[in-house]
Structure 1
Amino acid sequence: MDRRAKINHDVILQGSGKIVLGENSFIGSFSVIGANESVVIGKNVMIAQGVSIRDTDHNFDDLHKPMLNQGIKTKPILIKDNVWIGYGAVITKGVTIHSGAIVAANAVVTKDVPKNTIVGGVPAKILKRREE
């Protein structure tokens, strides 16, 4: 973690993977970052309160075995520079959020977010493109 980065109180960092928080970025209170592979957060990123960012899902394909015993699958998450993630948003495994993007409050991001776009909804969809 860069010394100018900030993690507010009551943030949970969990898992056995790598978590990187870039320069001048912050994670709001009551957020959860779960990394069993990697979650990399760039510079000047604002992550609001109550956000969930997890690079892992549970396997569930075998109907004859408890889901608890089926293991996990992981895929890294990359959040590039100058991104704003709103309150209560969920970022799922394998997602890249490109520079200048905004994720609306309570959005569930299951696919990559293009540069300079605003996404929202469940699942998140492009709402608007920011002007350059």
Structure 2
Amino acid sequence: MDVDYSKNLDETGKPMSNFLHSLFVLSTVQSVSPGNRAILDAGMKAVSLDSGVPLINGLKELAYYSGGDEHGIVKPSGDFKVGDQVWLIPGHCDPTVNMHNWLVGVRDDIVECVWPLSGRGPGV
């Protein structure tokens, strides 16, 4: 369940799915310009942007912008401090998963499993 899928509506304008988001990319705040922006360590090499930018879990008032391959920009900066961690909801889950070597299963803030993504990448 990614941002793009969650935008699908039925003929009455209601969400077509009752699924909750379950795929996230954990990112860390690298720098903050108070009142302006925060820079994350998750850019286009961490989250696919082909179906739109990720959402910041639990912080709908903040928007993610592409900062290039290695970084994302959050505007406004919110109450972030350097080192804070942010859970990003990918705009498109399939190509986002394909960029990573591991999928980490977390429940109640505890890592339950780590799965290698052995079928990812070209020529596999």
TM-score range, shorter chain: under 0.3
More strand by share: 1
Give the TM-score normalised by the residue count of structure 2. Answer: 0.22
Between 1 and 2, higher relative CO (CA 8 Å, sep ≥ 6) is seen in 2
More helix by share: 2
Give the TM-score normalised by the residue count of structure 1. Answer: 0.22
